[in-house]
Amino acid sequence: MPLRRCVGCGRSAPKIELMRIAIARDGGVSRPRAVCDRDYRLPGRGAYLCKDEQRELPASECLERAIKRGGIPRALRSAVSLDPKLVESVSP
């Protein structure tokens, strides 16, 4: 099984242990939005983050680090805005 690298902490892990972030393109929105792709089915590139063990969201530490370093837009190769649900998961 191929390993994927978390864009937050840099850990390599099987895809099943990571949460995929992909681009959801809405027709009227000027900037594409990065959202959780829980089913691994959205087309295009993906950015991977470690999963939180208790919730079906990315681990807050990895997501926070990826946001600070710009890892998500870099991995997706696109300027994106983050889904508000992702940002809320980092907030205490």
Whole-model pTM: value is 0.86
Provide mean pLDDT across the span 27-54. 86
26 phi/psi in degrees, rounded to 5: -100, 140
**Which range of residues forms the domain containing residue 25?**
3-90
* Nearest alpha carbon to residue 60 among 46, 50, 69: 50
Residue 50 burial (C-beta neighbours within 10 Å; 0-12, 13-18, 19+): buried
- pLDDT tens profile 48-65: 999 988 877 889 899 999
* Average of per-residue pLDDT values in the chain: 87
Question: Which pLDDT score is estimated for 57?
Answer: 82
Q: What is the CATH number of the domain that holds 61?
A: 3.30.1230.10
Count of domains for the chain: 1
Provide mean pLDDT across the span 17-26. 89
